[in-house]
Amino acid sequence: MTPTGSSGKCRFRLFGTLGNNTFPASRLGRIARFAAVGIAATSSHALTTIVLVSFLAGNPTLAMVIGTVVGVATSYLGNALWTFGATGRHVDHLPRFLLVYGVIMSFNALTMFLLEQIVGLNYLIPLAIALTISPALTFILNERYVFRGSLR
C-alpha cells in the first residue's frame, strides 16, 4: 500500500476494484471503524447474555434474544453515528439496516446448512467461510445501501 500523490488515495485491491483501482484513505478509516464497531457489538451481545444468565439467573434463550437486540442496537448506532456518519433520519436507515442484517444472517445459516448438512464438512469450515465473507459483505451493503449518501 503506497500513496499515489496528494489525492489521499492508496493503491491496492480489496475484493476486486470496487469501482476503481484506488482505495481512498478515508475508506480505510471507515473499514477500521466498522471493525471496531463489530467488536463492540459482538462483545455487548456476549456480555449481556452472560450477565443475564450467570449473574441474574435468567433463561438462556431469552438472554440470547436480549443479547442479540443489544448487539444489533450497538452495531446500528455505532455504524450510523461513527463508521458512516449517517445524516438524515433513522427511520430511513434502520429498516435497510435490519434488512441487511437479515440477509447476512440468512447467508450464514444457508452456508452452514449447505456445507455442513449437505456436503458433510465439519461445522468449523462453513463457520470460517461465513465469518470471513459476511463482514466484508455487510460493510459493502452498509456503505452502498444502508447509509448511502451518508459517507464522511
Q: Is 72 part of any domain?
A: yes
- Same-domain status, 135 and 122: yes
Spatial CA neighbour of 80 closest among 114, 50, 44, 41: 41
Query: Does a structural domain hold residue 36?
Result: yes
> Do 71 and 137 have their domain in common?
no
Let me know whether 63 and 7 are in one domain.
yes
Q: Who's near 1: CB < 8 A, 6+ residues apart?
A: 10, 11, 12
pLDDT of 6 > 60? The answer is: no
Instruction: Say whether pLDDT at 143 is over 70.
Output: yes
Higher-confidence residue of 112 and 11: namely 112
pLDDT attached to residue 22: 57
Backbone angles phi, psi at 113, to 5 degrees: -60, -50
Whether 6 and 60 map to the same domain: the answer is yes
Q: Is residue 16 part of a domain?
A: no
- Looking at the fold, whether 128 and 147 belong to one and the same domain comes out as yes
What average pLDDT does this structure show over 48-70?
92
Same domain assignment for residues 96 and 69: no
Mean pLDDT of 20-49: 88
DSSP string, 22-64: -EEHHHHHHHHHHHHHHHHHHHHHHHHHHIIIIIT---HHHHH
pTM over 0.95: no
- Residue 31 sits in the same domain as residue 50: yes
Cα separation, 29 vs 75, in Å, equals: 17
User: At which of 83, 107, 128 does a domain end?
Assistant: 83
Are 71 and 93 part of one and the same domain?
Answer: no
Same domain, 39 and 66: yes
Range(s) of the domain holding residue 93: 88-152
For cell 493503491, the residue is 11
In the predicted structure, residue 43 carries a pLDDT above the cut 50: yes
Nearest to 147 by CA among 75, 66, 70, 90: 90
Q: Are residues 64 and 42 in the same domain?
A: yes
Q: Considering the chain, what percentage of its residues have pLDDT values greater than 90?
A: 67
pLDDT for 14 equals: 44
The pLDDT of residue 15 is 44
Q: Are residues 5 and 78 in the same domain?
A: yes
Residue 74's closest CA among 99, 40, 106, 51?
40
Counting the structural domains of the chain, the total is 2
* 77 and 108 part of one domain: no
Domain C-terminal end among 38, 55, 83: 83
Q: Check whether 68 has a pLDDT greater than 90.
A: yes
pLDDT in tens, 76-120: 999 999 999 888 889 989 999 999 999 999 999 999 999 999 999
Name, of 15-19, 69-73, 82-86, the range with top average pLDDT: 69-73
Q: Which three cell numbers stand for residue 5?
A: 500523490
Residues 55 and 107: their CA atoms lie apart, in Å, by 33
